Structure 1
Amino acid sequence: MKVSPVKSSGLSTFAGVFTPSILTILGVIMYLRFGWVVGNVGLLGSLLIVTLATSITFLTSLSLAAIATDQQVKIGGAYYMISRSLGIESGGAVGISLYLAQALSVSMYTVGFAESIVQIFPGLNEKLLAVGAILFVAGVALISAKVASRVQYFILAAIAISLVSLIFGSPIESTEIELWGASPERSVPFWVVFAVFFPAVTGIDVGVNMSGDLKDPAKSIPKGTFMAVGAGYIIYMALPVILAMRADASSLIEDPMIMRRIAFWGDAILVGVWGATLSSALGSTLAAPRVLQALAQDGVLPRFMAGLGKGSGKENLPRKGTLFTLVFTITAVLLGDLNVIAPVLTMFFLTAYGVLNFSAGIENVLKSPSFRPKFKVHWFFSLLGAAGCFGVMILINPVATLIAAIFVFLIFFWLKRRGLKKTWGGIGRGVRLSLIRFSLMRLSEDADPKNWRPHLLVFSGAPQSRWYLIAVADDFIQGKALMTVATILTEVNVTKKRLRKMEIHTREFLAKRAIHSLVRIIPSANPFTGAKTMVDHYGLGGLVPNTIILGNTTEDSHMSDFCDMIGYFNKLQRNVLIIDIEEDYKKSSKRSIDVWWGGLKMNGALMIIMAHLLRRSFGWREAELTIKMVVPNESAARDAERNLAEIIEKMRSNAKYELIVSGGRSFPEILKNESRTADLVFLGLKTPDDNYPLYYRTLQANTSHLKNKIFVLAGEDVAFEKVLF
């Protein structure tokens, strides 16, 4: 069946983000509780609360902008962003919290609307008025997102008129500006006031959650959000000055409609508060069902709620989700009032904002290759925002913070146990596969030598028989790069099932010894031919082993095939490390490493890189690295010393160096004298040629006195010297 693509309603930045965000910011708290805030904590306390709350929102806006410009933001807004960054379990846990916060926002705004009417007409029932308001805004939301956005323009104009009327108002009594509000016995604590106020600056969620209806979410979300946060901050910093100059603390605390008495035209405040509360309720009514719709589409919600993910009409309106939210908000209205709902909202919003900041911060810290936002934010600001959210939660109410954390973790573990597979085909695995695919497609494009890592293919045979090869390889990578333990099985007629069982057994054997490695076993009549075949075909895209680790050969009859294999690997541009060390590698001494050096190019640079990686391992951390170079005479030694000292200083490898004057001695003789006590010696190999078996036999004879050595042949087309500097 062919499914037609869903068309976005194409809302602009102003209509889809700025307007609903600023209307939510300039809402019920501003009109009905801001006087109470100023009365309780005074002018300076109010400015501090506004600055602190807006700072948290602004830092969250930065993180939000980074994530929004990194990926295509679809329906669900903040939930969509978090789930695609931290995984569906984390995203689902926060998404459900975010939905509850948005739905409770509708209850708070409509309760505020009803409270303002009851202040004028005391005989009316506040609960019924609030329920009627919910039914009204739900009806508008069910019609169209575009219709809802047009209604908001008239409300924005009404709010602007009410603020102008307030500015040109006059004092209602003789008063002095009270910097810290009413006396302690007549006021409530600072953090309680903060908890009531904070929902006033949470309007950024409305614009984000409308992402599915925006023409250009990546552009509109950052721009519209910053505009709304900035405008809201200016207004909230000006209002305390006006209120503190025109009424005393007691009047501000006791009269929720104090602005009406202060304003030049009092009824303009009524129009503003009614418009603001209804528009804020409308914005949250548009946003909450869209979060619910995204949760249902991703399979986060229980199966019986799957229908909430279906949209209606060309605009893909979440009508079922709106009806569900309608029932939820009416229930909340019947059970609570404004001062009860607002602090609960604060906890939910701070939780969602904290995780959003944490998500953006961790993406930056880890430098994930998939995180490349157009709007760049330093990780410090994102993590500062996260710390601010969680810190303020604890200051407001430690018990409520603990309950919120338990709530989120319970949802997380519930989702984890369900093992969701609907969205990405298997929760953790699906996300990892998505990241692997993304990285693989770009790996070959990111061939900067500075990012080089050894990707090892270790031909160990049966791991038990040549364990030292695996142990040395693990010391090279220390869990920071990829390694594959490979075996060429020379048996014939081996079934795929048996090979699979052998791979599982080998993987378990390695895991018990804390070796994290891939495992590959292939059958071949000839081990050398099998090794060539594996190197030819093993890997995926740009992710192929770049360094082959082999054991030394002791069979003269194998020498020709062995050398031919080395030449083959070199032609394939693979680095080759031939490890010839004591079998009891774990107990062997690891206090000195000699690198016999002939210059930076090819083998020289790679040997120092591998020696440096080895010294970062636990066993070799105390080893002294000495770079040794042979020169023909004293004059050459003086010239070489200047260059070598400068090069080693630039390498930042904490290595020593020794210049040995040959004095007519052969290199094997020098090697025997100078490295006879070294615990490990690195030696370069020449490029393979037709006489390589003879060369290699001679090399074995000349190094037989060395107890541990690694022969290095650089074959990869990489400027290894750039890795060092």
Structure 2
Amino acid sequence: MIQSYPAVKQDSKGYNFGTFKGVMMPSLLTILGVVMYMRFGWVLGQVGLVSTIEIVLLSTSITFLTGLSLSALATNMNVGGGGAYYIISRSLGLETGAAIGIPLYFAQATGVSFYIVGFTETLLPMVKQNAWVMAQMQAYGIPEAWLPAILGLTTLVLLTLLAYISADLALKSQFLIFTLILASLLWIFTGKPPECPPEYAAVANDAIPQGSFWVVFAVFFPAVTGIEAGIAMSGDLKNPAKSLPLGTLGAILISLMIYLAIPIFLNYHIDNRNWLIHDKLILTQFTNVLDLPHWLNIVLLAIWGASISSAMGSLLGAPRTLQALAHDRVIPNWIGKGFGKNNEPRIATGFTFLVAATGILLGNLNAIAPVLSMFFLTSYCTLNLSAAFEGIVASPSWRPRFRVPWYISLAGALGCIFVMIQINFIATIVAVIICSSVYVLMQRRSIESRWGDVRAGLLMLGIRNAIYALQKRPYDEKTWKPNIMVLTDSPKARWYLVHLADALSHEKGFLTIAAIDTTPGISPEELLKKEKHIREELDEHDVSALVKVHHGTHVVPAIRELVRLYGFGPIVPNTILLGDTTEKHNFTEYARLIILLCQLKKNIIMVREGVTQPIFNRKPEILIWWRGWTQFAAFKLAIAYLLTQSEDWQGARIVLKSIVSTDEEASQQLDVMKNFIDHTRLEAEAEVVKAQAGTTVQQTIIRESQGANIVFLGIRPPLPDEDPEDYAQYYENLIKSTEGLPPTLFTLNSEDVEFRRIFQ
């Protein structure tokens, strides 16, 4: 149920307009504009009364739903200048605001030309009948085809000068125009319908093909987009939270009643479709009791006034959108510079003049209208999504005084998308590409906004739902990926660990950089400062990872506590990546750490930098020493395969090598390994090495590993109840016996996962 509550007065800068003058009147004057007077007959003639009413109801329902969403958003924040852009950017973030705000500005600026072209269409026949004007044009050699552009540009210059002088003066002039429009509607509805001219009566209705519903809809839709004029004045309102909902919804409902009455009235009095389609000024031909000359026709004067006021409304609103974009540093700040005590955006008005002048030179009302429709629908869709997302997330900060259920706003957004696709699918894709391009550009510029937005809440909601769903699903080895935790004192000191972990996760798995701080008496603030410093280092290298600095008196107990407690629900590290140690006095502690990680069912990747340089003049080689198809071998293969999927290791050769004693064994082992590679669909090579007399297995491994970029070797898991001292002795032997190898990954999998199933 939609509820409304009294608004709290807010401070604002600018003119401090009230609801009627600042929102309702600009909105109504833009809605009841050129399309109503000059295209309603065309719409009725193209698709008939029933479809015309459907077009009115559909377009108005989208605007009404958007008005509801706007009302909720406006009563939940202190709305500044910029209208729809300001609201969207403060809700969905600066990038989304800019992605919509920049196209919206061009739509508003092009709207100026749209209304001026409509004005010149009505003025043109009268000017052409003026002999003096036509004689002067002929004397100066000005082609008659230039006349619409000359009239349009002259009108634009005069309106721009008025906007430069004062927005207040411009809005005050609109009171007279508003009165004139009301008088014209009274004139039409109480007037006598004209007789159908013979040139139109000669064509029967059945001979005229039915127009396309969506093409006609696209031409008509700008008639209901007048609420943008009121929204754009948000920074000049005395109380935006009160004025925006009341003024916007009031204007929509009043215009709906008028828009339903006009086609019914026309259909009742005029039944000739050919006349309705081709006579743009058919509403001016209704006569009344007053016998006035043609140039004093109240309907014609109202058309002029409505066209001029609609153009003025867009000419006032578009620069304020541009000014807000400049204030947020989306565009150069100097464009948004304000002048005078009321912060007039004169430079932005100059830019708007240039855009509008370009639109006037196009000179085709029906060509401009669909472009406006697409960009206005895009902004309406985003406004609705903003309110829907705020309602879905339902954070404590979402407390609008005008409450609208989130599904109503979502319906408005879906309605906009549906209508855009129906109007022109290609144009919809183009609009999406333009908005997406601006969004990506803004992301690359990394402008830090000065406000929070709903995106964090949306992400949190998505994470919550995903974790709950993940927790309920049975585990399957075929979806296994390493959730890596890198243990390091300082990422800078052992950056190769971070680089390797990033290559393994390659922005698809989870990666945590964890550090243990044993500094006595370190404060939580200092730990957070250290985390921030590590995060900055990662950002510099474009590494996506979580950061955790954990404090403990001793390293191994602190790691035990960290590994046990770190994570959320089913999202916990399953693989620990760490560097080796070659200092003998650390061997026992290191052995104790490996035993601990095995007890906690964590996979281990121990990295040792090589003392020899690998060969880089050929394709990178990943060498795996093979001792049969075991769980340990499957884990090594899984890690090696993930490594080849990263950008740095793309195209690397995976080579499986095995040591045999005889030529017969070599042939058999090679066949087994090739069959295995073919069965598992791995892009790998198999090689067999025959052990030489008088050399150990370790010596053979070192000799045959030269030239590889990275070598995979397994390490023995600790025995049950094995003492750390005993395992330290094994570790010492391992380090000594593998000296001279290229960079090596020693792997040990302890997780309760059937890794061989990954390759089935």
TM-score normalized with structure 1 length: 0.61
Q: Structure 2: how far apart are the matches of 1:281 and 1:360?
A: 29
State the match for 2:213 in structure 1. 190
2:168 maps to 1:162: no
Partner Cα separation in structure 1 for residue 115 and residue 205 of structure 2: 27
Which residue of 2 is the match for residue 521 of structure 1?
Answer: 515
**Which residue of structure 1 lines up, in the alignment, with residue 544 of structure 2?**
none
2:599 equivalent to 1:583: yes
Cα displacement (A) at 1:24? 0.3
* Structure 2 unpaired stretches of 5+: 1-10, 131-146, 198-203, 476-482, 530-548, 566-595, 604-750, 752-760
Deviation, 1:488, is: 11
Map of 2:153 onto structure 1: 131
- Tell me the equivalent position of 2:252: 229
How far did 1:325 drift?
1.1
Distance 2:109 2:64 in 1: 23
1:339 alignment partner AA:
N
2:390, 2:212 → 1: CA distance?
37
- Are residues 1:360 and 2:384 paired? no
- Counterpart in 1 of 2:113? 107
- Partner AA of 1:342 in structure 2: A
Q: Which residue of 2 aligns with 1:391?
A: 418
Structural mapping, 1:256-275, within 5 Å? 256-264=280-288, 267-275=297-305
Task: Please state how far the C-alpha of 1:581 moved relative to its aligned partner.
Answer: 10
- Alignment partner, residue 457 of structure 1: none
SS in 2 for 1:156: helix
Task: Decide whether aligned partners of structure 1 residues 153 and 307 sit closer, same or farther in structure 2, where only a CA change above 3 A counts.
Answer: same
Q: For 1:78, give the aligned amino acid.
A: A
Name the aligned partner's letter for residue 583 of structure 1. Q
| Alpha-carbon offset, residue 387 of structure 1 | 1.3
Distance in 2, Cα, partners of 1:184 & 1:203: 36
Q: Which residue of 2 aligns with 1:299?
A: 329
The 8 Å contact of residues 170 and 246 in structure 1, kept in 2 or not, is answered as: no
**CA apart distance, 1:157:** 0.4
Q: What does residue 414 of structure 1 align with?
A: 441
Partner Cα separation in structure 2 for residue 52 and residue 227 of structure 1: 18
Q: Secondary structure at the match of 1:352?
A: helix
- Tell whether the 8 Å contact from 2:83 to 2:232 is kept in structure 1 after alignment: yes
Of 203, 206, 213, the residue aligned with 2:229 is 206
1:158-200 deviations in Å (ceiling 9; x for gaps): 001000001101232489xxxxx95474442111111111000
2:486·2:501 contact (CA, 8 Å) conserved in 1? no
Residues 291-440 of structure 1: pairs in structure 2 closer than 5 A: 291-301=321-331, 303=332, 306-417=333-444, 419-421=445-447, 424=449
Residue deviations 1:585-617 (CA, integer Å, cap 9, x gap): 379xxxxxxxxxxxxxxxxxxxxxxxxxxxxxx
SS at match of 2:402: coil
Pairs within 5 Å for 1:73-152: 73-123=79-129, 125-152=147-174
Partner residue, 1:545? none
Aligned-residue offset at 1:360: 2.0
Return the alpha-carbon distance in structure 2 between the equivalents of residues 99 and 229 of structure 1. Answer: 22
- After superposition, the Cα gap between the structure-2 partners of 1:409 and 1:536, relative to the gap in structure 1 and judged at 3 Å, is closer
Find the aligned partners of 2:402 and 2:494 in 1 and give their Cα distance: 47
Conserved? CA contact 1:6–1:316, under 8 Å: no
Q: Tell me if the contact between 2:12 and 2:239 (Cα under 8 Å) persists in the aligned partners.
A: no
Q: Aligned with 2:229: secondary structure?
A: helix
Q: Which secondary structure state, in structure 2, belongs to the residue aligned with residue 384 of structure 1?
A: helix
Structure 1 spans left out of the alignment, 5+ residues:
176-180, 444-450, 455-470, 476-482, 490-495, 541-547, 570-579, 588-707, 709-725
| Residue identity (%) | 42
AA aligned to 1:334 is L
Instruction: Tell me if the contact between 2:488 and 2:494 (Cα under 8 Å) persists in the aligned partners.
Output: no
Contact 1:24 1:280 in 2 (8 A): yes
CA–CA separation in structure 2 for the residues paired with 1:240 and 1:485: 69
Contact 1:95/1:295, CA 8 A, preserved across alignment: yes
SS of the residue aligned with 2:399?
coil
Q: CA deviation at 1:100?
A: 1.1
> Could you tell me which residue of structure 1 aligns to residue 270 of structure 2?
247
| CA–CA distance in structure 2, aligned partners of residues 512 and 319 of structure 1 | 49
Aligned partner of 1:463 in structure 2 is none
Q: d(CA) in 2 for partners of 1:517 and 1:189?
A: 55
Q: 1:358 to 1:407 in 2, by over 3 A?
A: same
Compute the displacement of 1:524 (Å). Answer: 2.4
Superposed, 1:604-683 pairs within 5 Å as none
Question: Larger radius of gyration, structure 1 or 2?
Answer: 2
Cα deviation code 1:206-244 (max 9, x no counterpart)? 111111111111211111100000100011011111111
Relative to structure 1, the CA distance from residue 503 to residue 71 in structure 2 (aligned partners, 3 Å threshold; closer, same or farther) is: farther
Name the counterpart of 1:606: none
Tell me the equivalent position of 1:576: none
Distance of 2:335 and 2:90 partners within structure 1: 20
Q: Alignment length, in residue pairs?
A: 502
1:172 corresponds to which residue?
Answer: 194
Instruction: Give the Cα–Cα distance (whole angstroms) in 2 for the partners of residues 110 and 535 of structure 1.
Output: 64
Q: Deviation of residue 511 (structure 1)? A: 5.5
Counterparts of 2:15 and 2:393 in 1: how far apart (Å)? Answer: 36
The superposition leaves residues 560-579 of structure 1 with CA deviations (integer Å, 9 ceiling, x where unpaired) of x99xx99xx9xxxxxxxxxx
Please say which of residues 139-148 and 51-60 is displaced more in the overlay. Answer: 139-148
Inter-partner Cα distance in structure 2 for 1:500 and 1:431: 36
CA distance in 2, matches of 1:6, 1:236: 34
Separation in structure 2 between the aligned mates of residue 513 and residue 326 of structure 1, nearest angstrom:
46
Q: Is the contact made by 2:320 and 2:348 (CA closer than 8 Å) also made in structure 1?
A: yes
Q: Equivalences for 1:709-724 in 2 at 5 Å?
A: none
What's the secondary structure of 1:521's corresponding residue? strand
The 5 A counterparts of 1:277-292 are 277-292=307-322
Instruction: Tell me which amino acid in the other structure corresponds to 2:320.
Output: R
Q: Deviations over 1:424-470 (max 9, x none)?
A: 27xxxx858x988x99xxx9xxxxxxx9xx9xxxxxxxxxxxxxxxx
Tell me the secondary structure at the aligned position of residue 599 of structure 2. coil
On the 8 A contact 1:296/1:309 being kept in 2, the answer is: yes
Q: Deviations over 1:622-647 (max 9, x none)?
A: xxxxxxxxxxxxxxxxxxxxxxxxxx
Residue in 1 aligned with 2:577? none
CA deviation profile, 1:280-315 (whole Å, cap 9, x unmatched): 0110000011111112222223x4xx4211111111
SS of equivalent residue, structure 1 residue 33: helix
**Partner of 2:243 in structure 1?**
220
Separation in structure 2 between the aligned mates of residue 280 and residue 147 of structure 1, nearest angstrom: 15
3-state DSSP of counterpart to 2:515? strand
Asked if the contact 2:377–2:420 (Cα under 8 Å) also holds between the matched residues in 1, the reply is yes
After TM superposition, give the deviation of residue 319 of structure 1 in Å: 0.6
* SS in structure 2 of the partner of residue 127 of structure 1: helix
**One-letter amino acid matched to 1:424:** S
Distance (whole Å) between structure 2 residues aligned to residue 208 and residue 309 of structure 1: 18
Q: Is the 8 A contact 1:64 1:222 kept in 2?
A: yes
Of 65, 68, 71, the residue aligned with 1:62 is 68
Q: Is the 8 A contact 2:180 2:298 kept in 1?
A: yes
- Counterpart CA distance in 2 for 1:509 and 1:322 is 51
